[in-house]
Amino acid sequence: MTVDPQSSTEIKAATAWVMALSIGLILLGILAILMPGIASAVFTSSIGWIALISGILQVIQAFQARAIKALWLSLGVGVLYAIAGLYILFNLIKATAVLTLAFGLLFIAEGIFTIIMAFTYRAGRSMSWFVAINGIITLILGILVINRWPFSSLWLIGLYVGVSLLFSGASLLGSALAARKELA
């Protein structure tokens, strides 16, 4: 089976879209880093909207599932999702604080398990020291988040989302530029 190679025009068009997307992600990442409180609120409210819409769809689906006698279970789950979504949307500061606390605890657990993995399984063989440093840094970040909680709630999620968007955009841009360079 052979695959027809794409023409250079198609590749340039595709990479143009990827480059535009990556620049957009980079700009959004910078904006989130500069305004982490707003980015935290947007991220948390997005979770609230997702939960609310999921709950509404689950309630609608519950009535479709009457034939298989799953009405009450599906209806209950849908109502709980909708209530959770509404709670998040109407209590954005509290929801952001709880989410930040969860991130802090997650970083502590990840740091501990990564350190254990680095020394127990010698992950990465000669690079196990790098895995251990990653675990130590993650553990320290988790402790800092918990230590500064709930005040860290105001900036942490937005900052992390911003950094993630920035690096995602940069890696996409690098990939698109590399693909274009291969054409030359």
Reported as a single tens digit per residue, the pLDDT across 121-136 is: 765 566 677 778 888 9
41 within a domain of the structure (yes/no): yes
- pTM (2 decimals)? 0.69
The boundaries of the domain holding residue 91 are 8-183
Cα 80 to chain centroid, rounded = 23
Residue carrying structure tokens 């992600």: 25
1 within a domain of the structure (yes/no): no
133 within a domain of the structure (yes/no): yes
Q: How many domains does the chain have?
A: 1
pLDDT digits (tens, 9 = 90+) for 167-178: 888 888 887 787
Residue 96 to residue 133: CA distance in whole angstroms: 29
Phi-psi sector, 147: left (phi>0), alpha (psi -120 to 50), beta: alpha
Mean pLDDT, 10 residues at a time, over the chain (184 residues)?
62 84 93 92 94 93 73 85 95 92 90 85 64 85 87 84 85 80 75
177 within a domain of the structure (yes/no): yes
